[in-house]
Amino acid sequence: MKKLQVKLKNITLKSPLMTASGTSGHSNEIEILRNSEKSLSALGAFVTKTVTLESRLGNPEFRIVETRTGILNSIGLQNKGVQSFVKNELHSILNFNLPIFDNISANSIGEFSELASYLSDNNLSQVISGLEINVSCPNIKRGGVSFGTDPKQVELIVKNVKKEIDDKLLIITKLTPNVTDITLPARAAINGGTDALSMINTLRGMAIDINTGEPFLGGITGGLSGPAIKPVGVFMVYECFRKISECSKKEIPIIGIGGISTWRDVLEYIMAGATVVGIGTAWFVNPDIFKDIHTGLKNYVNEKQESLSSLIGITHKKKPKNK
């Protein structure tokens, strides 16, 4: 369906829907889609869970707690490390025949370079379309959100990853909403050479068991996702599109993430300025989410006789509803 096709720099995606990192694993967890042709064809790209240089066990349990309008997680970037990912998991996702974006994180700038160099040396540009640099995880002691809230670190990390990768892979930088002004780390990532921005990762939060007074999560605090955070995500996409000329000129595309659970939510993100969207928590609730949203979008563009790309950022030309 041509009207749903979007371009992420030089990569054409047949649909604007991507998985949000960490919500469909590295390969096994998304196997469910293999049994559903329609769900798979609704996807434009697959984004892996974060991969790190060495394996990580993640945080103590409990790691997920439900809230009234979303979930709090404190997974702590559990994964088997980059070598195991390349050797044992990558081949499964390749069967999906979709562009793959490998989400990466590290404890230090040096480790980010090492990870990028490993991926570059192993000729992974033949199989992976790009990297999503996660400088926004709220659930780890070193790196993560502490990088993402410091524009200088964001710029350095992106610059160093870019140096190792050359122009072989598309670089997406994933931003944290745990800042006062999202445009500052966004600008820093662009200065560092990012090709695209994705936003938002989870918002810091916590939940307490009132019977005992204990925090529910093993990591004490966690990251909030799901419907509660959608207005924050839409606002942050809107702000970047409004204040950063590279975004409004669509030279730096934005991937909108956070709380999407219907096709209407996708349109909000696109009208705010996103080119592509990521869906995470909603998939835990509805295994047919990609198919359902794809059908809704298809009906919408057919009825309006418009392509999705023509709607990117249109809210910036509109006045508030009651004016």
Ligand X SMILES: Cc1cc2nc3c(=O)[nH]c(=O)nc-3n(C[C@H](O)[C@H](O)[C@H](O)COP(=O)(O)O)c2cc1C
Q: Is 137 a catalytic residue?
A: yes
We find the least distance from the C-beta atom of residue 144 to ligand X, in angstroms, to be 9
Q: Which is nearer to ligand X, 134 or 275 (CB)?
A: 134
We find the least distance from the C-beta atom of residue 183 to ligand X, in angstroms, to be 18
We find the least distance from the C-beta atom of residue 94 to ligand X, in angstroms, to be 20
Residue number closest to ligand X, CB atom: 22
- From the candidates 65, 137, 196, 270, give the one annotated as an active-site residue: 137
Beta strands 254-257; 196-199: pairing state: parallel
We find the least distance from the C-beta atom of residue 259 to ligand X, in angstroms, to be 4
At 107, give phi and psi (nearest 5°): -85, -20
Q: Which is nearer to ligand X, 161 or 282 (CB)?
A: 282
Q: Which is nearer to ligand X, 151 or 278 (CB)?
A: 278
C-alpha closest to that of 71 among 314, 284, 315, 236: 284
We find the least distance from the C-beta atom of residue 95 to ligand X, in angstroms, to be 22
Q: Which is nearer to ligand X, 56 or 162 (CB)?
A: 56
Q: Which is nearer to ligand X, 262 or 315 (CB)?
A: 262
Q: Which is nearer to ligand X, 190 or 277 (CB)?
A: 277
| Binding stretches for ligand X (CB under 6 A) | 20-23, 49-50, 71, 73, 75, 77, 103, 134, 137, 174, 201-202, 225-226, 229, 257-260, 279-282
Residue 42 structure tokens: 């609704």
Residue 306 structure tokens: 């418009």
Q: Name residues whose C-beta falls within 8 Å of residue 287's C-beta, 6 or more positions apart in sequence.
A: 32, 36, 39
* Alpha carbons 93 and 115: distance in angstroms, whole number: 20
For residues 244 and 190, is the Cβ–Cβ distance under 8 A?
Answer: yes
Beta strands 130-134; 170-174: pairing state: parallel
Q: Is the peptide bond before 200 cis (omega within 30 degrees of 0)?
A: yes
- 301 vs 140, 185, 257, 305, 309, CA distance in Å? 41, 34, 21, 6, 10
For residues 113 and 165, is the Cβ–Cβ distance under 8 A?
Answer: no
We find the least distance from the C-beta atom of residue 213 to ligand X, in angstroms, to be 25
Positions annotated as catalytic residues are 137
